[in-house]
Amino acid sequence: MYTKEEKELIISNIQQFFYTEYDEEISSLKADILFHFFEKEIGKYHYNKGIDDATSLVLDKFSSFEDDLYALRKRK
């Protein structure tokens, strides 16, 4: 799902967040565990939001396309 480089960056960002916000250094293992927890618990909501956004965009574009096609109809 994520490349090795992406996962390493995410883990590093989690570690940096804890250090910046809580003045606490956490290991790569703890950051990895947190990453998997958030991925499992929050990932589905982000995924579904992306699907909803894409659906809305496609429906809007289809509506516009339908209007354009209707405008091309020949009048009697």
Amino acid 55: pLDDT: 95
Amino acid 56: pLDDT: 94
Q: Is the pTM of this model over 0.85?
A: no
Mean pLDDT of the chain: 93
Domain ranges of the chain: 4-71
> At residue 51, does pLDDT exceed 90?
yes
The alpha-carbon radius of gyration of the chain (Å, integer) is 22
Residues 6+ apart with CB under 8 A from 59: none
Interval 47-65 mean pLDDT: 91
% of the chain exceeding 70 in pLDDT? 100
